[in-house]
Amino acid sequence: MIVLSGIAFLFFKEILPKRIFSQAKPAAKNIVIDSILLESITLDEKEISKATYGVDSFKRKRIVYEKVDGIAFPDEQFEQYKGFQYLIPFFEKLYLLENEQKGDVRIAYFGDSMTDGDMIVQDFRSYFQSQYGGNGVGFVPITSESAASRSSVTHQFSGNWKTQSYLNVKRPMKPFGVNGHVFFANDTISNPWVSFKAGKRAHTDLLYQPTLFYGNSDNMEGEVILKTGKDTLIKKLTPTKLVNTLAITSANIKSIKSSFNKADSIPIYGFNFDDGKGVHVDNFSNRGNSGLPISTFNVNVMNAFQERLDYDLIILHYGTNVLNYGSYNYDWYERKMAKVVEHLKVCFPGVTVLVVSTADKATKYEMEMKTDSAVIPLTNAQKKYALLSKSGYFNLFEAMGGEGSMTKWVEEEVPAMAAKDYTHFSYKGAQKVAEMLYQQLQNGYLKYKEMRLKRKKEPQKMLVDTVSSKSNSVNVQ
């Protein structure tokens, strides 16, 4: 029987596919997909089969930057592309904050399940705030699928909120907020509520200057009932603008509970908690997000958010939900994400963009866990759209160690740096990713400071918002 079993195994090994799991669906059961991604794959099927990557031609060329205010980062090859040149406005804001104590710096971190529960982002935020100052967890939506697993803030809410998400709704009742959701307190029998309690981490141990964000409506009867400690306060909502704010208190508090009365049809977006100093990082994570739904942002509404929040850097951390759809050609994703970046720069004037590649992901081949065959093609497509859209780029796959790194992070590191799904990070791994990302930005900033000091011309205050796309051009030679 043993001999027969061995022969049978050798026979079937030769005729079975090398890849155990089909490429038609994500291998991990906890990965979901947004509707725009599915639609894009369906619409582009013919183009996908005909298109070519064009990566080889990029690899043979040198990326040469033109000076911005007398500064140009060294030439780069495609393989090592980081795109610090396109982050100069962000670096300048950091410089003014650090050396002249002028202004503050704000970062919007858009991601998928990799940043669920403030994973990666909470440590990334902490590194910046420890170095440059700033307190507060930033913008938090009304409800969140990952609220229970978040430690940077205790977030609870009632179950009677009506929620619309840009992952599955094309035409919302009211425009989506900056986090890609819009919430309605339409229950007239029981007032919907949301509560927040400060976490125990450094810089987020208080709810700093809580402020409610809500949208436009004809309903002028809405009110919010606020409970902080033993105090109860009722404030009217005046939804006259596209984006309205209501300062709850100028004090820094430990907890707050807000219930909404007669507020039906008023779009509620979320609460912001920051001290207005240093660096602030908002986590806008959505499970199943490919990044493509960002293209549905209403420009006028986002302009209004930008007037209030003033983002300097937007980080796009996607890829988990884009892998494994029957083709290794991601030209379609590259094209569409380049348009997303273009749209973001219209929505948030003056912002710079940093693209974070997909992490390594392991799939079983011939009974062994190895780097999924789609990972490298996807990282190349992400690098191309970053370069062509004049964005910075962080190669998370290479930073982890390249091929086979996810398997090592799961099986060899103690404690394990990633989960047994060979896709998502553990808390320890998330902290390591945050450190590597922060360090790359810090390296770019230190190089920028060095070049800034060496400029021969008389130092002048750089007007970050006037840096033109023409002067910040790139030549690929």
Structure tokens at 380: 């190349």
Q: Which residue has the higher pLDDT, 45 or 446?
A: 446
Average pLDDT over residues 29-56: 51
Measure the CA–CA gap between 159 and 78, rounded to whole angstroms.
49
Residue 40 has pLDDT above 60, yes or no: no
Residue 6 has pLDDT above 80, yes or no: no
Measure the CA–CA gap between 442 and 450, rounded to whole angstroms.
12
Judge whether 119 and 146 are in contact, CB under 8 Å: no
Q: pLDDT at position 474, please?
A: 59
DSSP-assigned beta bridge partners for residue 355: 316, 393
Q: pLDDT at position 301, please?
A: 98
In 256-402, which ranges are continuous DSSP H helix?
299-309, 331-347, 375-388, 396-400
E-state strands within 133-210: 138-141, 153-157, 162-165, 181-184, 193-198, 207-208
> What are the structural domains of the chain?
19-134+278-477 (3.40.50.1110), 138-275 (2.60.120.260)
Q: Which residue has the higher pLDDT, 413 or 434?
A: 434
Among the listed residues 268, 290, 256, the one whose alpha carbon sits nearest the alpha carbon of residue 143: 268
pLDDT above 70 as % of the chain: 82
Average pLDDT over residues 92-105: 95
- Whole-model pTM: value is 0.88
Q: pLDDT at position 194, please?
A: 98
Residue 465 has pLDDT above 90, yes or no: no
E-state strands within 200-254: 207-208, 211-215, 223-228, 231-236, 243-247, 252-253
Q: Which residue has the higher pLDDT, 69 or 420?
A: 420
Q: pLDDT at position 48, please?
A: 38
Q: Which residue has the higher pLDDT, 47 or 359?
A: 359
pLDDT band at 8 (very low <50, low <70, confident <90, very high): low
Q: pLDDT at position 59, please?
A: 67
Instruction: Express each pLDDT in 236-246 by its tens digit.
Output: 999 999 999 99
pLDDT above 90 as % of the chain: 76
Judge whether 422 and 410 are in contact, CB under 8 Å: yes
* Phi-psi sector, 297: left (phi>0), alpha (psi -120 to 50), beta: beta
Supply the mean pLDDT for the chain: 88
Instruction: Express each pLDDT in 184-213 by its tens digit.
Output: 999 989 999 999 999 999 999 999 999 999
Contacts of 172 (CB under 8 A, 6+ apart): 164, 166, 182
Burial of 230 (0-12, 13-18, 19+ CB in 10 A): exposed
Q: pLDDT at position 230, please?
A: 87
Average pLDDT over residues 163-171: 93
Instruction: Express each pLDDT in 58-82 by its tens digit.
Output: 666 789 999 988 999 999 999 999 9
Instruction: Express each pLDDT in 313-330 by its tens digit.
Output: 999 999 998 886 667 889
